[in-house]
A and B are shown apart, each in its own frame.
Chain A
């Protein structure tokens, strides 16, 4: 609850939750006949064992961090954006269209154009549920989940239909973007590209907005108590809508990253629930931007390490998803559990004091 001071109780709970979740993971492995120590060992090796995998880990962390912060800024202003996946798809599609229609153009013109397209697509797609929520109080979770499916199917239609490439050997997808537009990789053979710098700048900007500006302050107060924000003379509706627009734009950029850094074109399997991974990170860190950066590194390593684990020790990499959600369960219950413990201790203490006092008097 403290504002700026570090909340050690929270860190302790987080540490215990992560540890407990890893323990549950280990138990599941034991039950399914695997050796947890070697599996976790493989995970660590798979995430940090060579420059190439470190690059992959960082690249994964970039995605997690961007999507995590995107969740956080919406939640900060009181809207739970579950629709990042759809915003990501639309952003990816919009940037891909720019990428192949501007084929041959100078990257200096084309790339900013692609960014604008991706951000606009994502932002627009987040704007709809935001307005529905703010103006009509329509539940944003259901709407954004539905919008995810709509966007994914729509993009799949486009990539298989009107916008399908004529190249041979590509089952579905748009034409390839101009190779000159693609982000150069930093560590050879890894998926780490210069997107990490862009992501860092965006993260810092959003952190600054959230924590250091009066606009961020208004978002925070709106998210905590929108009636109080309105009462205090803030434009609470506007704050919430802007938060969602930023959130959607960030998701659009993640889509762009996938197209311009990884795939080279839009494919219907652009994202494998990347947004939900980031959303989990944000939920675990209670939407704290700095916390999200660090937790992204941890989960990025887990994700990348998991494929190595699957390959070398036969444990399915989905176990990581199970572990992540268990951390969420623990963290979501944390307040309930600690407050129960605290109030029990307090009542016990007071009862003892009172009894002592009564004895003294008697």
Chain B
């Protein structure tokens, strides 16, 4: 393998986005027939680099060679012509179309010169299925099949277009462990039998160890190292990724224990399709503790949080917060009884992008006497001063409090949300994905804030897809699978690899 010929070559690639240099002078060679893993933190520039290869990003400097050919025009059709296929993190499928239609789209079989050949398309798909062993049924609609199958459709799409270099961007983020294993089998098979080259982008280090031949590590737009996988281990990779030995500093926590502030009993919540997303779930959180919810995304976490914060009505069971039953309450009423909420989707729920930062900071307390005389006439000056104070307190970096929140970076926008929610000084805080899409510096700051609130005696419910984060912050960790609680642990009594079992195994329920 070491001497295999190079199939893709990046030379001094730099990619400029409006506010950041997303790739900074990256040079890398991918060899024919290998599985290459590209790892790095969020925003390290992995996807950016691979989108250069797929022609979706144009570098401001540097050269790309695919199979020896210098790329001059950056667009996907050029990449497809040279045999590159990419499965994006967010699938590029048309939900209402059939599997077959999605696979052949833009390279459709025809009949009578002008019509789409539906039967032909199905045959093509069946042939692909036979050839590569990726089972799908061509006539199913995409929005009716599982995410794992959708991913297969994406892979088949690239194969149909003749790809022999396959890029997979965070392919396992949405998969169950079984599906992940199946995917890895497929990758091994196509590399072995079809001599394909696979590049897999991930931030899960155990996957790197499991599947790859070589691994490249990116940090802040730069490629900081390329190694043979067999020569490294997860610890080494982790320290390369963050640029130092320790991932997260141990945060000092005071011993506190208080009364029960959140009590959930046999809660059932429906999702948008009226299916039960949360089933018969019971949970309690006390003052001065952080309870972390661990689970693969889409297992009812979002619906649970929405039910607690009033954004979604629940079907049965009860939620009691600070001794009050919240059934039928609006988010405003629940706020009033003492709940702050840092939502998972800050862009659509956490802020108003077009409102100024100061308006975002006072939303929810805009009727307080401090800002509005008799709750009516708003006073600009105290609002501005208040906003400026929060700016310093929460280290929000922006030229002014008057510009729109939409112009902030992810980390600063999240700090705006935290600043507003924490300054309510509510006894209960519900936090979802606090550091998603946030840079490392801001992440540390946010973690410290959360621990501080805990030490002050808040009851905190934390939902995160990031296990490291849960282990760093939680006092107790609860695992959730298909809307049910499958395990409950005191932090420190279980390790990361064991918890994965509870996040995926439903047999533990109802015992």
Contact = CB atoms under 8 A, between A and B. Distances in A.
Contact of A228 (B333, B352, B403): B352
B367 interface: yes
B61 interface: yes
Interface string B354-392: 111011000110110001100111101000000000000
A141 B331 CA distance: 29
Nearest to B383: A217
B356 A228 contact: no
Contact of A3 (B343, B356, B366, B376): B356
A221 B376 contact: no
Nearest to A220: B355
Given A2-B403, A217-B366, A233-B336, A228 B60 contact: no
Contacts of B380: 4
A234 B310 CA distance: 12
Contacts of B409: none
Contacts of A213: 372, 376-378
A12 interface: no
Given A214-B367, A214-B372, A347-B60, A225 B348 contact: yes
A234 B332 contact: yes
A214 B332 contact: no
Interface residues of A, number: 32
B6 interface: no
Interface in A170-226: 212-215, 217-218, 220-221, 224-225
10 nearest CB pairs, A to B? A233-B332, A232-B364, A225-B352, A3-B356, A232-B363, A224-B352, A233-B335, A1-B404, A351-B60, A3-B402
A136 interface: no
Interface in A217-252: 217-218, 220-221, 224-225, 227-235
B103 interface: no
Given A217-B359, A230-B330, 9 more contacts: A3-B358, A221-B359, A225-B355, A228-B349, A230-B311, A233-B332, A347-B60, A351-B16, A358-B12
B407 interface: yes
Q: Tell me whether chain B's interface is mostly helix, strand or loop, or mixed.
A: mixed
A346 interface: yes
Interface of A: 1-5, 212-215, 217-218, 220-221, 224-225, 227-235, 343, 346-347, 350-351, 354-355, 358
B353 interface: yes
A342 to B, nearest CB: 9
A212 to B, nearest CB: 6
A239 B343 CA distance: 23
Contacts of A347: 16, 60
Contacts of A358: 12, 61
B351 interface: yes
Nearest to A351: B60
